[in-house]
Amino acid sequence: MDNDVLSVINEATPGFSKGQRKIARYIVQNYDKAAFMTAGKLGKAAGVSESTVVRFAADLGYGGYPEMKRALQELIKNRLTTVQRIEVSKEIMEHGDILNTVLTSDAEKIRYTLEEIDPAQFNAAVKTIVEAKRIFVIGLRSSAYLAGFLGFYLNFIFNDVRVIKQSAASEIYEQIQHIGPEDALIAISFPRYSRRTITAMQFAQGMGAKIIGITDSASSLVARNADIKLYARSEMLSFLDSLVAPLSLINALVVAAADYSGTDLEEKFTRLEKMWAEYEVYEKRE
């Protein structure tokens, strides 16, 4: 469905029954909480039966309640403040077993990412990285750690990898001012999306560079500004976003790029090991 769920509800409101109006009113006023409720919980909160909620989702044109719930979650990704996230997380987290809840959720995100990833887009990203003259990587806020990890390992494979440092907007442009048609920019951003990342993508695209976007969904501003789009699940957990699936995707990207490039990694790391030993980079094993 093209419209967001609130628009769909608005358009359908005139034809709603009394029970459906109760559900619609609750969702419109509490969509942040409704996005994480089971059909039973939503029905109780709205004062209707669970079966009425399930029929409500179907009448709106969704394939079922889970599909409507995902649409609500998509809607709120970039809308909630940190304070609202903490409040909403009370609906998600099982306080008695947070460890199990979080780890199980992370495992599911990796599984969903594997099921939903487009192999053609993944292969196109690998080819673009390998063939690029220079590789620029940008990820700001929490995504900076993903960008740093990706840049760190790509640097072992390729000769010119540049991770854009977090700084004032003007300084970000200065770091990519010479980007061109032979270069690739890998942009990483997850809700809440970084405005500076988006504008950097637009600048690089204007300079003719190939843009690879790593983000959470097709509706993301990163996806809209990328030539190649890689999606990884990253739903929120309390005040933070899970970056487990994005990191797993980045791992696969690095391994595939190394394999596709034909780089003699053994020779490179043999040289590095000598350097690390000489400068005592790592603790020696007794």
**H or E stretch covering 19:** helix 18-29
* Residue 271: per-residue pLDDT: 86
* Whether residues 69 and 123 fall in one domain: no
- In a domain, residue 44? The reply is yes
Interhelix angle for 265-278 vs 144-157, to 10°? 110
CA 185 from chain centre, in angstroms, equals 17
* Whether residues 24 and 133 fall in one domain: no
* Whether residues 64 and 130 fall in one domain: no
Instruction: Give the residue-averaged pLDDT of 74-79.
Output: 70
Q: What is the pTM assigned to this prediction? A: 0.74
- In a domain, residue 283? The reply is no
Instruction: Give the residue-averaged pLDDT of 253-259.
Output: 96
pLDDT tops 50 at residue 211: yes
Rounded CA-CA distance 103/262 in Å is: 36
* Whether residues 176 and 249 fall in one domain: yes
- pLDDT, the chain, mean: 88
- In a domain, residue 107? The reply is no
**Residue 196: which CATH number?**
3.40.50.10490
- Band (269; pLDDT cuts 50, 70, 90): confident
Show contacts of 162-168: CB within 8 Å, 24+ apart: 162/134, 162/135, 162/136, 162/137, 163/136, 163/137, 163/138, 164/136, 164/137, 164/138, 164/200, 166/140, 166/141
- Band (2; pLDDT cuts 50, 70, 90): very low
* Whether residues 61 and 123 fall in one domain: no
* Residue 69: per-residue pLDDT: 87
Between 107 and 241, the higher pLDDT residue: 107
**Residue 66: which CATH number?**
1.10.10.10
Least confident of 122-131, 154-163, 270-279: 270-279
* Whether residues 176 and 273 fall in one domain: yes
Domain residues for the domain of 273 are 117-277
- In a domain, residue 93? The reply is no
* Whether residues 69 and 149 fall in one domain: no
Which residues fall within 8 angstroms of residue 51, CB to CB, at 6 or more apart?
none
Task: Choose one of 18, 44, 76: the last residue of a domain.
Answer: 76
Instruction: Give the residue-averaged pLDDT of 183-210.
Output: 94
Q: How many domains does the chain have?
A: 2
Helix, coil or strand: residue 14: helix
What percentage of the chain exceeds 70 in pLDDT?
89
- In a domain, residue 100? The reply is no
Task: Give strand ranges (E) for the chain.
Answer: 135-139, 161-163, 184-188, 210-215, 228-231, 236-237, 240-241
Written as one letter, the residue type at 44 is K
Task: Choose one of 16, 51, 76: the last residue of a domain.
Answer: 76
Task: Choose one of 76, 93, 109: the last residue of a domain.
Answer: 76
Instruction: Give the residue-averaged pLDDT of 246-272.
Output: 91
- In a domain, residue 256? The reply is yes
**Number of CB atoms found within 10 A of residue 263's CB:** 15
Chain segment 82-96, per-residue pLDDT in tens: 556 656 666 555 555
* Whether residues 213 and 126 fall in one domain: yes
- In a domain, residue 85? The reply is no
Between 240 and 190, the higher pLDDT residue: 190
Helix, coil or strand: residue 229: strand
* Whether residues 143 and 202 fall in one domain: yes
- In a domain, residue 227? The reply is yes
* Whether residues 130 and 27 fall in one domain: no
